[in-house]
Amino acid sequence: MIEILASHAFNTIQDLGRRGARRFGVSPSGAMDPVALEAGNALLGNDGDAASIEVQTFPFRLRFLADMAFALTGADHDATLAGRTVPPWWCMRASAGDILTIASPRRGARVYVAFEGGIDVPRVLGSRSTHLRAGFGGLEGRPLQAGDIVPTGSARNDASKHVDFGAEPPDMAIAGSEPAEDRVLRVRVMRAGEHILFSEAMRATFWSTKWKISARSDRGGYRLTGSKLTLAAPVEMRSHGVVAGVVQVPPAGEPIIQMSDANTAGGYPKIAAVIQADLWRLGQAPPGSFIAFEEVGYQDAVAAMAPVTSYLAGLRATADLYRAL
């Protein structure tokens, strides 16, 4: 078990999200950066979907109540364990009583703390992810707070297993994912159903604008500012299914990118959709940062997942070998 010593708003327990519940109006939730979550589990030898803590407000502090291994992935940050520096994208073993402190990231928005055996809270609709809007999953359906005791799964507690190593972050290991020199995140998207309803001038504006992620953004969606996208005439649409990555345009003209906790249906026109291979990168974009959209076709969108899948498979294989040393 672990004890939360300091936690600000919106730090939650997440796994890869719940599937098959959209018909009930329940969004998947899950990690905003699923690659970081899976990588942390791979470092520890956990199942890839094991629940971890998603930290997005800092500083964050916890105390280990038992000996166990843990891993830190996600945003580039500073952390200490019992006064010893813990590099980002690293796993190591903690002793009962050790305190882990995580400071605000230098780059990126979310840090993931994975534990040997995963976090052992009940599954709700097949997932341990916290659904803040519905108030279930995770720990009582709410953000973590000081004083919480969080149960973890059975740790191996085998000191002979080598657990003090790290991994290359995906934004360095996967070609094309490294940060741009101008600090504008390039996000690949496909055209969505109502793209054609926007005039040629409005479509050109969508592609050419450097969009700023508004401070009003959260796990439900990223609100963008920078230009206004308007239709020649109002369009009334019936609500339709919505998934993470869909870029909708409300009547005010400022796009919204649906994220992990998005609604399952909505009626705003859809101009584009972020491809799956870039959602983890978008999940690490903090409010105030800038993004720009680049169009890709279906085949390129499918092919873009291959390097991500290969990265995670290679990381797990290497970590398995390293722990056995």
Q: With contact defined as beta carbons under 8 Å apart, do 142 and 176 qualify?
A: no
Q: Tell me the C-alpha distance between 13 and 139, whole Å.
A: 7
What single string gives the DSSP state of each residue in 105-146?
A: PSEEEEEEEEETT-B----BTTB---BTTTTBSTBTTB---T
Q: Is 299 helix (H, G, I), strand (E, B) or coil?
A: helix
pLDDT in tens, 247-296: 999 999 999 999 999 989 988 999 999 999 999 999 999 999 999 999 99
Q: What is the pLDDT of residue 177?
A: 72
How many angstroms separate the Cα of 307 from the Cα of each of 58, 65, 178, 312? 31, 38, 13, 9
Q: What is the pLDDT of residue 200?
A: 96
Q: What is the pLDDT of residue 240?
A: 85
Give me the average pLDDT of each 10-residue run along the chain (325 residues). 96 96 91 98 96 98 97 97 96 97 96 98 97 94 97 70 90 80 91 94 97 96 96 82 94 96 91 97 96 97 97 96 88
Q: What is the pLDDT of residue 233?
A: 81
Q: What is the pLDDT of residue 238?
A: 84
Within the chain, how many helices (H) and strands (E) appear? 6, 21
Q: pTM (2 decimals)? A: 0.95
Strand partners, 283: none
Tokens of 67: 């000996």
What single string gives the DSSP state of each residue in 28-82?
A: ----SSHHHHHHHHHHHT--TT--EEEE-SS-EEEEESS-EEEEEEEEE--EEET
Kind and range of the H or E run holding 319: helix 305-323
Which domains are assigned to the chain?
Answer: 2-167 (no CATH), 184-304 (2.40.100.10)
Q: With contact defined as beta carbons under 8 Å apart, do 87 and 166 qualify?
A: yes
Q: What is the pLDDT of residue 273?
A: 97
Cis omega (within 30 of 0) for bond into 59: yes
